[in-house]
């Protein structure tokens, strides 16, 4: 049972001293703000409360620092219909009635037996709660309109200014748009996307470009905007920023390009760029900024779905770089990386690179059955392709790396497709060994044998 502890600060009970933070209902401020009825604010407060649904306001505001006196001791939620018992304690009506229905006729806080089971609506407290929430709600609405207004202003400014003023306006718009949904809506509705896109071109400075991309990536882009952004000069700019910018800029560029790829008529040649792919690989390999790895791999994954670009990915040496990365990757990144490698293994040059990279087999074998089933599936698929390409060479390396035991493990408990694949691989690997030697390579204990 929750024991209500009045907050004692410096030995003074909350609510009765004038000092304090937002948690305490500060009397001085309360009068000034009109919550306690001074300066005619109280009347307005009540009237406003009627118009604005208290429940709706509480939900929309979702504030963390509600004065404790407004909170129902049973549910710890703000009260919408406070009622007081004969003991003087106040609860939310529905909660205290539930308490009574369970057969308890005590006051939950004081634990006294009730000599009077009537519940009195606490109009005063209700009035205070309404006024407090109304004030906060109106403030929030105003702030949100302010933000909207500010966003509109900034868009108008952007159409006029150049140079440093332009950079400043973009910076502020970026900030505003990142933190307020209303600002985002305002920008989209007022044709802001077109304005910002028009700033991107072959002579756009990095300062302007990085802020512009930061803004665009937060917004809902329609088909026309996306097509506009796919112009070669704009894409070039994004690729440059992906190579040169801060980690946040790099991630924004990555996300934006991925968004553009969702467009129906997306032409693969847009992403068929050495600079882009090399830049992505650098992002993925960045040890100092690991938050770029997932976005980078995600975009790389989307790109390798395009057949036309796959061989380019292989040509820039992505295969061996990804293989070397595998041991250090987090599980979600790992699955993406394996997906990419598996897709690339369908190309002759891809599977060739995989075979030539000395760490392919050991790294992949180590991964089997250690992460998600998808990871195991991709790893197995790649191993199968590599071993099939050069059975003599690769099977022995695989077996030395401990593939045997893993395959047997897969046989014990995975989906049928996986089991089938592992059985095939097992057959391939056993070709060069006698049974005894193979089993010993599997390093199995006697019992399992």
Partner 1 sequence: MGLLCSRNRHSNEADAKENAQAEEIERRIEQETRAEKHIQKLLLLGAGESGKSTIFKQIKLLFQTGFDEAELKSYISVIHANVYQTIKVLFDGLKEFSQNETDSSKYVLSGENKEIGEKLSEIGGKLEYPRLTKELAQEIETLWKDPAIQETYARGNELQVPDSAHYFMENLQRFSDANYIPTKDDVLFARVRTTGVVEIQFSPVGENKKSGEVYRLFDVGGQRNERRKWIHLFEGVTAVIFCAAISDYDQTLFEDEQKNRMMETKELFDWVLKQPCFEKTSFMLFLNKFDIFEKKVLKVPLNVCEWFKDYQPVSTGKQEVEHAYEFVKKKFEELYFESNTPDRGRIFKIYRTTALDQKLVKKTFKLVDETLRLRRRNQYEAGLL
If binding is defined by CB under 8 A, does position 275 make contact with partner 1?
A: yes
If binding is defined by CB under 8 A, does position 358 make contact with partner 1?
A: no
If binding is defined by CB under 8 A, does position 171 make contact with partner 1?
A: no
DSSP, res 40: G
- Choice between 273 and 298, CB closer to partner 1: 273
Count of residues touching partner 1 (by CB under 8 A): 23
∠422-427-430 over CA atoms, to 5°? 120
Window of 179-187, 280-288, 301-309, 349-357 that interacts with partner 1 by CB under 8 A: 280-288
If binding is defined by CB under 8 A, does position 284 make contact with partner 1?
A: no
Among 6, 18, 149, 163, binds partner 1 (CB under 8 A): 163
Q: What is the end-to-end Cα distance of the chain in Å, rounded? A: 58
Q: Where are the alpha helices (DSSP H) in 199-231?
A: 206-216, 223-229
Distance between CA atoms of residues 280 and 243, nearest Å: 8
If binding is defined by CB under 8 A, does position 366 make contact with partner 1?
A: no
Q: How far is the CB of 265 from partner 1 (least distance, A)?
A: 15
Distance between CA atoms of residues 256 and 229, nearest Å: 10
Answer whether 6's CB lies under 8 Å from 13's CB. yes
How many residues appear in the chain? 449
Window of 35-43, 53-61, 274-282, 424-432 that interacts with partner 1 by CB under 8 A: 274-282
Q: How far is the CB of 271 from partner 1 (least distance, A)?
A: 12
If binding is defined by CB under 8 A, does position 291 make contact with partner 1?
A: no
If binding is defined by CB under 8 A, does position 228 make contact with partner 1?
A: no
Distance between CA atoms of residues 409 and 443, nearest Å: 12
Among 106, 135, 273, 396, binds partner 1 (CB under 8 A): 273
If binding is defined by CB under 8 A, does position 323 make contact with partner 1?
A: no
Among 317, 352, 391, 402, binds partner 1 (CB under 8 A): 317
Among 101, 118, 164, 445, binds partner 1 (CB under 8 A): 164
If binding is defined by CB under 8 A, does position 202 make contact with partner 1?
A: yes
If binding is defined by CB under 8 A, does position 288 make contact with partner 1?
A: yes
Window of 38-46, 97-105, 174-182, 272-280 that interacts with partner 1 by CB under 8 A: 272-280
∠341-345-349 over CA atoms, to 5°? 115
Window of 60-68, 124-132, 268-276, 367-375 that interacts with partner 1 by CB under 8 A: 268-276
The H or E element spanning position 12 is strand 12-13
If binding is defined by CB under 8 A, does position 316 make contact with partner 1?
A: yes
DSSP, res 277: H
The H or E element spanning position 93 is helix 93-101
**79: its two tokens:** 């009260």
Answer whether 193's CB lies under 8 Å from 216's CB. yes
Answer whether 91's CB lies under 8 Å from 108's CB. yes
**325: its two tokens:** 């990365």
Neighbours of 386 (CB within 10 A): 24
Among 127, 136, 206, 419, binds partner 1 (CB under 8 A): 206
Q: How far is the CB of 376 from partner 1 (least distance, A)?
A: 31
Please give the residue ranges that form the binding site for partner 1 (CB under 8 A): 163-164, 202-203, 205-207, 232, 236, 240, 243-245, 273-275, 278, 281-282, 288, 315-317
């Amino acid at each position: 049972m929750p024991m209500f502890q009045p907050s004692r600060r410096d030995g003074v009970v909350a609510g009765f001293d004038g000092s304090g933070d937002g948690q305490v209902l500060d009397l001085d401020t309360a009068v000034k703000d009109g919550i306690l009825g001074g300066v005619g604010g109280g009347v307005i407060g009540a009237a406003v409360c009627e118009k604005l649904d208290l429940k709706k306001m509480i939900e929309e505001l979702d504030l963390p620092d509600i004065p404790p006196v407004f909170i129902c001791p049973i549910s710890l939620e703000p009260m919408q219909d406070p009622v007081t018992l004969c003991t003087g304690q106040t609860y939310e009506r529905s909660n205290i009635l539930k308490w009574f229905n369970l057969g308890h006729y005590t006051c939950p806080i004081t634990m006294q037996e009730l000599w009077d089971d009537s519940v009195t609506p606490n109009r005063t407290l209700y009035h205070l709660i309404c006024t407090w929430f109304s004030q906060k709600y109106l403030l929030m609405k105003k702030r949100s309109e302010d933000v909207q207004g500010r966003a509109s202003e900034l868009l108008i400014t952007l159409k006029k200014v150049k140079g440093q003023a332009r950079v400043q306006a973009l910076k502020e718009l970026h900030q505003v748009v990142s933190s307020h949904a209303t600002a985002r809506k305002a920008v989209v509705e007022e044709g802001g996307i077109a304005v910002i896109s028009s700033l991107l071109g072959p002579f756009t400075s990095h300062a302007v470009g990085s802020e512009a991309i930061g803004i665009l990536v937060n917004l809902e882009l329609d088909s026309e905007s996306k097509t506009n952004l796919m112009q070669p000069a704009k894409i070039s700019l994004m690729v440059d920023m992906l190579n040169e910018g801060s980690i946040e800029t790099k991630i924004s560029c990555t996300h934006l390009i991925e968004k553009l790829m969702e467009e129906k008529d997306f032409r693969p040649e847009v992403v068929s760029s050495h600079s882009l792919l090399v830049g992505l690989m650098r992002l993925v390999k960045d040890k100092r900024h690991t938050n770029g790895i997932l976005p980078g791999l995600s975009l790389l994954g989307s790109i390798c779905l395009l057949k036309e670009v796959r061989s380019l990915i292989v040509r820039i040496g992505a295969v061996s770089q990804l293989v070397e990365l595998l041991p250090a990757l987090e599980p979600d990144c790992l699955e993406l990386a394996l997906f990419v490698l598996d897709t690339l293994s369908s190309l002759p040059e891809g599977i060739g690179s995989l075979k030539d990279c000395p760490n392919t087999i050991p790294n992949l074998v180590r991964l089997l059955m250690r992460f998600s089933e998808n990871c195991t599936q991709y790893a197995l698929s790649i191993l199968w392709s590599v071993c099939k390409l050069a059975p003599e060479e690769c099977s022995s390396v695989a077996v030395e790396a401990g593939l045997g035991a893993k395959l047997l493990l897969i046989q014990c408990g995975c989906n049928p497709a996986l089991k089938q694949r592992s059985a095939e691989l097992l057959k391939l690997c056993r070709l060069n060994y006698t049974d005894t030697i193979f089993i010993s390579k599997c390093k199995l204990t006697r019992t399992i044998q």
